[in-house]
Structure 1
């Protein structure tokens, strides 16, 4: 079955960035983390941990039952990428009050996103509804608009304790190949696409399976210029362009054509 991309689903958004945490996110919930109160008063926590395998996340409730500590092993390491780019994560999320306790955690890691349902109970002030949680103002990353003077730097990932903190990483290896990887948390490998032309390598991703507590899907779109990834004097489309994707990370390899022995 042929794959296709419905580009009409990408809304027009003025300015360069839709989310300061990911310069390639064009649509959907923003921020490295999102926390919201559900109808049953439990907390929903979504944390972006791109590159982490589905079975590599660990978590625990701390001694005073006020927060959940989550951490990961190393993300999957692929050939052609520097060891220092392999990331590890650690962070916390939970209550910002002293009237509730966390009684249970239902956690699932998929496509580089950790989603948790934190069950909680009121232990005092039972007549008052509690809406406090930590960290505050999560999921509120904005964008900067080239038509305004509000220029915002792209944020580094706050939960990375080892490895790169940027959304995109690139390098050129000694054999003349160019590698780059892009974080698209929540997007499975089958829904990431690479679209090269003579001027650039475009990439696209969309998480089509939206979680029940997410407000919408997320769409990512960006490009790497041929000036960055071409070998000197060789057109981009003459290169061998290959890619793979797993755990919310797209990895692309651009290799120059083999040398002609007659030259």
Structure 2
């Protein structure tokens, strides 16, 4: 049977002159942007959201800088399913205070569906006549014509998409959809294209809204040598904020009936 050699993410071309809705993920169409977001809450605590797609809920580590008590260091490693040639992804980064008047006194962290969320408690250690709003990093994401690489990946895949042929003549591809849980995704296929929709339905209390991801993957670029998707088994699931789709050839039915 003719198998697949690769696939093309046709979502990498912006659909309008303004570019991508979110430069951290070409599939994102709605919701909070950026790989990381830090904002001041009404109770003067800090809310930190960090996208770490592929990381299990119990596989993230964090600690406060013991010297200056200004930032939180975080690190994590993704689950290895054996399909991606680059193997696991390793993350490492920091977030926290960008001032000299406060110190971090506590961290309440939760990892869920490929997103690390932390509530940082702080206290003033120097006189300051205004409410302190200085945070690190000081941005919440942006739109544009170029997709950016994940700044906290220190090993492995840095982009939101990967597609690779499998040894049995099939195809595997993965798409980062941080925040999306299993069961909140729909995968549809025709002869040469797979379309998917993934939506964050359970919005975290400090997120402005849920995220929506839409995309498609084309397998017809190689012309007549490409196999029809409809002659294959297609399975898809979301694991730790990553949509993984496996396309495998159907085994011929060799059973015969004796009359």
| TM-score interval (norm. to shorter) | 0.7 to 0.9
Describe the superposition over 1:121-180 as per-residue Cα deviations: whole angstroms up to 9, x where unpaired.
11112422111011122x22213xxxxxxxx32100000011110100111123211110
Partner of 2:57: 54
What CA RMSD, in Å, does the superposition of the two structures yield over aligned residues? 2.0
What residue is the counterpart of 1:104 in the other structure? 106
Which residue number corresponds to residue 135 of structure 1? Answer: 137
| 1:151-166 mapped onto 2 (5 Å cutoff) | 152-166=145-159
Q: Could you say which residue in structure 2 is the equivalent of 1:37?
A: 40
Segments of 4+ in structure 1 off by > 6 A? none
Answer whether contact 2:219 2:226 (CA < 8 A) is retained.
no
Give matches, 1:231-250, under 5 Å: 232-250=225-243
Aligned length: 238
Aligned residue in 2 for 1:117: 119
Q: After superposition, where does 1:1-263 map in structure 2 within 5 Å?
A: 14=16, 17-63=20-66, 64-72=68-76, 74-82=77-85, 84-137=86-139, 139-143=140-144, 152-227=145-220, 232-258=225-251
Residues 65, 231 of structure 1: CA spacing in aligned structure 2 closer, same or farther, 3 A cutoff? farther
Structure 2: any 5+ residue segments left out of the alignment?
1-14, 255-259
Q: CA deviation at 1:249?
A: 0.4
CA shift for structure 1 position 199 = 3.7
Structure 1 distance, partners of 2:222, 2:122, is: 50
In structure 2, what is the Cα distance between the partners aligned to 1:231 and 1:37?
A: 56
TM-score using structure 1 length: 0.85
Whether contact under 8 Å (1:46, 1:115) holds in the other structure is yes
